[in-house]
């Protein structure tokens, strides 16, 4: 037998004991091993093992001396991994067996006692929950920072008008600050979804063992508390097979990424020559290999594109889970890569979008000029007809439409129509109507709660900055 076969058989015997006489085929080893990606769980695996060992020692399943040796050994392994010196082995399949085998190498028999009263099934379920929980905490901080950046810019531009769009057609004037605060509202919903997800995942599977629990008199409340969980899971079958927490996390990720994509799309549009609303510096743009004039908003385009990866991760895991009977199945080994990839894409997108929002220089004069284009104050005219002349709104809408057609035919905006031209369509119109046809008058009039009036926007921005401080 070759040295390679000897090592493979030795690894198999480490994992499976006496049940298997020979090691797996090369293909089986390749498809079965997850150490290439689940090594990301090493901190959580060590944390869970420390809590498990402490509980085993406290109730007398292992000795205090063994627990101390395990703790020292795991601390040393953590230092090895952190320093890039850990000898990862694909033959040991995953991070859990790699750490356990290395622990036994370092401390001997005590290392073999660590796995008492647990299975890799509840071990990985616990590690993965810890990892997702850590990821949520980091992403919540990133989302909060992006909200702060948006709110700060909104406060600065609370009175700067820009065109508001529907169907990407000029609709009514709004302020740039109001537009930015819309994304703060979206991101707050993202934070809420993540907080809900964190609350639901914060139950500890450790102690569920393979699927049925254990006959050892373990203290699951103690390990749950030691790991920062609210409580242990109540059903061992569900505990080892549940990946709802990962699905809910990916669902929140997909929605949040969609919000980032929408803002990125707007940045792309705003940077384009026909709009020219904002300019990004060299820090967030690239050039062209052939067109020297180009300044491409590639950071925005890539953040927009990464939404596909994150949405794909959600669909991938839903597909993995859809046909699995209780309890554990090896299919769930495919749960981690989509989550890891989604977190990498999401955190990078959040950083890029926050950077662009802080970096961009708005051309407020250009936005103001465009805010009045496309007869953007037509609704203000219709509202004036209702408020002053007491026309029913549908009639006012019709009159305004005729006035827009008249202005379009003469090649002017509504404020450019002569009073006599207006009175030919509605004789009761007076000179006072021109007071509502300016961009500033339009935005100032939108004083309803949530409206774009500069005073509203300034108050909302201040409220958000205080809440996010």
- Positions marked active-site: 167, 288
- Asked if residues 181 and 158 have their Cβ atoms less than 8 Å apart, the reply is no
| Rounded Cα distance, 278 and 459, in Å | 24
| Rounded Cα distance, 81 and 247, in Å | 29
| Rounded Cα distance, 235 and 60, in Å | 25
Question: In this structure, what are the phi and psi dihedrals at residue 157, rounded to the nearest 5 degrees?
Answer: -110, 30
Distances from the Cα of 167 to the Cαs of 51, 123, 164, 170, in angstroms? Answer: 56, 51, 10, 8
Q: Which DSSP string do the residues of 93-123 spell out, in sequence order?
A: -SHHHHHHHHHHHHHTHHHHTTTTT--HHHH
- Asked if residues 319 and 229 have their Cβ atoms less than 8 Å apart, the reply is no
Q: Which of 116, 125, 117 is nearest to 205 (CA)?
A: 125
Rounded to an integer, what is the distance from CA 343 to the centroid of its chain? 7
Q: Which of 98, 95, 100 is nearest to 336 (CA)?
A: 95
Strand partners, 342: none
| Rounded Cα distance, 169 and 379, in Å | 14
- Asked if residues 261 and 274 have their Cβ atoms less than 8 Å apart, the reply is no
Rg (CA), the chain: 31
- Asked if residues 286 and 296 have their Cβ atoms less than 8 Å apart, the reply is yes
Question: What does DSSP assign to residue 294?
Answer: -
User: What does the angle CA 299 – CA 133 – CA 116 come to, to the nearest 5 degrees?
Assistant: 135
Q: Which of 337, 334, 338, 310 is nearest to 321 (CA)?
A: 334
- Prior bond to 327 cis, omega within 30? yes
Q: What count of other Cβ atoms lies within 10 Å of the Cβ of residue 461?
A: 24
């Amino acid at each position: 037998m070759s040295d390679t076969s000897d090592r493979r058989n030795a690894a198999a015997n480490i994992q499976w004991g006496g049940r298997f006489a020979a090691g797996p085929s090369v293909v089986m080893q390749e498809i079965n091993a997850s150490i290439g990606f689940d090594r990301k769980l090493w901190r959580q695996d060590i944390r869970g093992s420390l809590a498990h060992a402490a509980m085993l020692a406290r109730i007398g399943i292992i000795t205090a001396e063994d627990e101390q040796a395990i703790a020292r050994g795991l601390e040393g392994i953590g230092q090895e991994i952190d320093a890039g010196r850990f000898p990862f082995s694909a033959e040991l399949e995953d991070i859990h067996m790699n750490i356990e085998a290395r622990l036994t190498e370092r401390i001997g028999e005590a290392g073999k006692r660590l796995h008492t009263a647990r299975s890799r099934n509840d071990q990985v379920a616990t590690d993965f929950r810890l990892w997702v929980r850590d990821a949520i905490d980091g992403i919540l901080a990133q989302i909060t920072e992006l909200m702060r950046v948006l709110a700060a810019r909104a406060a600065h531009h609370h009175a700067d008008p820009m065109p508001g769009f529907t169907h990407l057609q000029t609709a009514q004037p709004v302020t740039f600050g109001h537009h930015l605060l819309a994304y703060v509202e979206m991101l707050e919903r993202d934070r809420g979804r993540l907080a809900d997800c964190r609350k639901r995942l914060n139950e500890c599977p450790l102690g569920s063992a393979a699927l049925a629990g254990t006959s050892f008199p373990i203290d699951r409340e103690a390990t749950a508390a030691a790991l920062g969980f609210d409580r242990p899971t109540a059903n061992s079958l569900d505990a080892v097979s549940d990946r709802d927490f990962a699905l809910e996390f990916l669902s929140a990720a997909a929605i949040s990424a969609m919000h980032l994509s929408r803002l990125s799309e707007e940045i792309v549009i705003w940077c384009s020559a026909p709009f020219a609303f904002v300019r990004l510096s060299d820090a967030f743009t690239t050039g062209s290999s052939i067109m020297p004039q180009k300044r491409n908003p590639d950071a925005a385009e890539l953040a927009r594109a990464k939404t596909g990866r994150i949405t794909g991760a959600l669909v991938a895991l839903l597909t993995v889970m859809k046909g699995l009977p209780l309890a554990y199945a090896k299919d769930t080994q495919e749960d981690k890569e989509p989550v890891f990839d989604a977190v990498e894409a999401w955190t990078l997108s959040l950083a890029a979008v926050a950077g662009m929002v802080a970096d961009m220089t708005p051309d407020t004069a250009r936005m103001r000029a465009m805010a009045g284009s496309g007869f953007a104050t037509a609704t203000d005219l219709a509202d004036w007809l209702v408020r002053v002349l007491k026309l029913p709104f549908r009639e006012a809408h019709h009159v305004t439409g005729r006035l827009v057609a008249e202005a379009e035919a003469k090649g002017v905006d509504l404020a450019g129509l002569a009073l006599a031209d207006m009175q030919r369509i509605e004789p009761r119109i007076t000179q006072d109507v021109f007071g509502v046809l300016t961009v500033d008058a339009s935005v100032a009039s939108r004083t309803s709660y949530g409206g774009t009036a500069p005073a509203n926007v300034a108050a909302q921005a201040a409220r958000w900055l205080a809440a996010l401080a």
